[in-house]
Structure 1
Amino acid sequence: MPAEHITFPGHAGTPLAARLDLPSGPVLATALFAHCFTCSKDIPAARRIAARLASMGIAVLRFDFTGLGHSEGEFSNTSFSSNVADLNAAAQYLASRGMAPDLLIGHSLGGAAVLRARAGIPSVKGVVTLGAPFDPGHVAHNFEDALPEIAAHGSAQVNLGGRPFTISREFVEDIQAETLLPAISELHAALLVLHAPQDAIVGIENAAQIFTTAKHPKSFVTLDDADHLISRAQDAEYAASVIAAWAGRYIDLAPPAPPPGAPEGVLRVTESSPDGYLQDIQSGPDHHAYADEPLAYGGSNLGMSPYGFVSAGLGACTSMTLRMYARRKGWPLLGIDVEISHDKVHAQDATTGNPSRIDQFTRKIYLQGDLSTDQRHRLLEIADKCPVHRTLEHGARVVTLLQDTATQS
């Protein structure tokens, strides 16, 4: 997945570190991602969501808030309001590049921040929250033991996730004074609320409050037994898939006209992560599939193998070809089932004489309907005229070009 590592000035003018995940093809829309409290732009959930959206043509900007991750500035001088201001700065940066955000996505306190920031970003058509609090002051429970010291001395150092952070009195007062009710009730954008019922950090009642306060269009999807950080790969994958499917309903993802010689457009395959074999396959804005390898071969088994897709193409093309022919003839073909199995069998190489193995696809066709023997035999002949069958039988020429891309992760 192409990416740009960039910086832009935050609310206080200090440089904020960001990553812009770009589609391999044309940019059809843009999303802005806000990470959770004291996290960074690079947590697994953010990476997977960005990769999935990029595969369908949505560029994703994720950045570190002031004083966190690789961004400059002092975290002790930040507040919820400054996070909102950083989001607005990020949106302005995108707009300066002609990529004003269509979608805001926020995780935990970042979810509260995108709800609050929406009013200042008019280009936004949809907002997504993951494990977000209805009341930003909820975050204070992470350091409630230090609240007396913060009140007495103006700040205190607390341990969050094994790392030290200085929390100021201004930060506490800011989150306690903030209310999201007006921002949510006047969101003027489609809303998707994602939350896990067993979230031990931000309770599910927060999702209920956000959802009931918002006006339609709004959607709620449970993340089942995911943890607050959505740290398990399968949970991040599920969240990414839901967001991608939902976003396509509210954001115009019309692709440009297909290039000459490719009437069906360009099919794009994007690696989900360098750690496994999962691939996002996107054909236009509407059709997505996963390719993967079985667990036994180091994959995560979330999609068909590449050979599985070849078999699927043969089976689908066979069924479509038979239906077209029977429909044109007016024959009583009521249903079609095609079974494909793929194997390699020994054969003698035609040119070298050396033993080799060739691919064999065994195709079983089941035809339903009151068809005569002659009609069934004719349909069997027609099956061999399926375009994919002919491509596999006659072979195809593959032209491979190595293209220049943006900086890779």
Structure 2
Amino acid sequence: MKTEKFTFPGHDGADLAARLDLPDGPHLATALFAHCFTCGKDILAARRIAARLTAAGIAVLRFDFTGLGHSGGEFENTSFTSNVTDLTRAALALTARGMKPSLLIGHSLGGAAVLKAAPEIGVEAVVTIGAPAAPDHVAHNFGEKVEEIAREGVAEVNLGGRPLRIGKGFLDDIAEASLQPAIRGLGAALLVLHAPRDAIVGIENAQEIFVTAKHPKSFVTLDDADHLLSRGEDAEYAADVIAAWAQRYMTLTPPAPPIGAPEGVVRVVEADPDGFLQDVTSGPSHHALADEPLAYGGTNKGMSPYGFLASGLGACTSMTIRMYARRKGWPLEGVRVDVTHDKVHAQDAGNGTSAKIDTFRREIHLEGPLDAEQRAKLLEIADKCPVHKTLEASSRIETTLA
């Protein structure tokens, strides 16, 4: 994905630092991401979700709230209400650029903020990740410092290994803030993601948000993930779920496919520069992961390139057989095609050289009361598969009937 530095004025006029992640291909929609309390725009969950959405054609703006990360302003003077205002200012900045957000994603307290801001911004879809049902839930992070804040007006609190000054105004604001009216009047589809074992924000918060919201709404458990989605596989799972869900509720209008490519462009984008994981998209609706097995240095989170090649042959073979049987009116009840791939010496193919060539072995299973002649004809038709014809120019395809 392409990334641009992006700044806009926050609630108090201070410049807020943001990253605008853009699709490598057509821009179909825009999302706005709000990070967790005292986190930042570059945490793993934010990066992975942005990468997955941009692969689907959805641009993502992720920014540091006032006083955090690279943003200006004083964190001590912020509140939940100011966070919500920062969000609306971000949406205005995107709109001024012609990229009005149609999807809001919020993590932890950022999830509470997007719920509060969504009715004002006006979006098609909202996603919360580990969000509290009430903003004052974060007060438990301050421990015994709550009394000092109330007494002195401000206190230094250690959060995530770093000291931050929390003002009394923050405590007063979260105590008064209510999400219930905003959730009931969301006016957008809602996806609630939450881990049952979340030790920071309990699962009962997700239940309250979900029950309060009107349809359409969805809930997906994050199983044994932690609150920050600090494991790569948890962040990737959340990213995949969000991308698949959002495309059902957002208006995505893909451009016309390029001339000469009626099915559009298959785009492959590197998802993990330290490994081999790839995001593979075909238009806005189809996504898969490509990877290498563990033995070859990959993470085995998707099919290998040869796996995709073999699956293309198998799928095309099955479709071709079905098309012919349907046209003939034959009683074909089911088709299964098992494909294996190997490299063999070309001399095995009878051309006398010692070079290696690719061999695809294809075993076809036909179900239904077909006679011997029909089965033989369908085996012959398998070789008419367009992908077979594409591959056979440089590969050998061996086919057997199970």
| TM-score interval (norm. to shorter) | over 0.9
Instruction: Report how far residue 220 of structure 1 moved.
Output: 1.5
1:126 aligned residue: 125
**Matching residue of 2:148:** 149
Aligned pair count? 394
Question: Contact 2:346–2:352 (CA<8 Å) still a contact in 1?
Answer: no
Aligned partner of 1:14 in structure 2 is 14
Q: Which amino acid aligns with 2:143?
A: E
Distance 1:134 1:373 in 2: 65
Q: State the AA in 2 paired with 1:317.
A: C
Shift of 1:321: 1.0
Per the TM alignment, residue 349 of structure 1 is displaced from its structure 2 partner at its CA by: 12
1:108-166 CA distance string (max 9 Å, x none): 000011111112202x0111111111111111110121112212222111111101101
Alignment TM-score, normalising by the size of structure 1: 0.92
Provide the C-alpha distance between the structure 2 equivalents of 1:273 and 1:382, rounded to a whole number of angstroms: 41
Preserved CA contact (<8 Å) 1:349 1:356: no
Counterpart-to-counterpart distance in 1, 2:234 and 2:247: 20
- Offset, 1:273: 2.1
Q: CA deviation at 1:284?
A: 1.8
Answering whether residue 292 of structure 2 is matched by residue 293 of structure 1, we say yes
Deviations 1:154-183 (A, max 9, x none): 211111110110111111111111111111
Does structure 2 conserve the Cα–Cα contact (< 8 Å) formed by 1:30 and 1:58?
yes
Whether the aligned pair in 2 keeps the contact of 1:34 and 1:106 (CA below 8 Å) is yes
CA distance in 2, matches of 1:205, 1:369: 51
Which residue matches 2:400?
Answer: none
Query: Where does the alignment leave 5 or more consecutive residues of structure 1 unmatched?
Result: 397-409
Instruction: Say if 1:129 and 1:193, in contact at 8 Å, map to a contact too.
Output: yes
1:82 aligned partner: 82
Equivalence for 1:401: none
Distance 1:336 1:119, change over 3 A: closer
The aligned residue for residue 32 of structure 1 is: 32
Counterpart code for 1:25 = G
Aligned partners of 1:29 and 1:253 also within 8 Å: yes
Deviations 1:191-228 (A, max 9, x none): 11111111111111111111111111111111111111
* Residues 325-404 of structure 1: pairs in structure 2 closer than 5 A: 325-347=324-346, 355-395=354-394
**Which shifted more, 362-371 or 334-343?**
362-371
My pick for the range that moved more, 179-188 or 306-315, is 179-188
Report the RMSD for the aligned CA atoms in angstroms.
1.8
CA-to-partner distance for each residue in 1:340-397, whole Å, 9 max, x for gaps?
11000112599x987321111111112223333333332222211211111111259x
The corresponding residue for 2:158 is 159
Alpha-carbon distance between aligned partners in 1 of 2:211 and 2:192, rounded to the nearest angstrom: 11
Amino acid at match of 2:337: V
For CA contacts below 8 A with separation 6 or more, give which structure has more relative contact order: 1
Aligned with 2:144: secondary structure? Answer: helix
Where do 1:9-408 residues align within 5 Å? 9-122=9-122, 124-347=123-346, 355-395=354-394
What is the one-letter code of the residue matched to 2:293? Answer: P
Q: How far apart, CA to CA, are the structure 2 residues paired with 1:375 and 1:229?
A: 58
- Give me the whole-angstrom Cα distance separating, in 2, the residues matched to 1:213 and 1:369: 51
Structure 2 unmatched ranges of 5 or more:
396-402
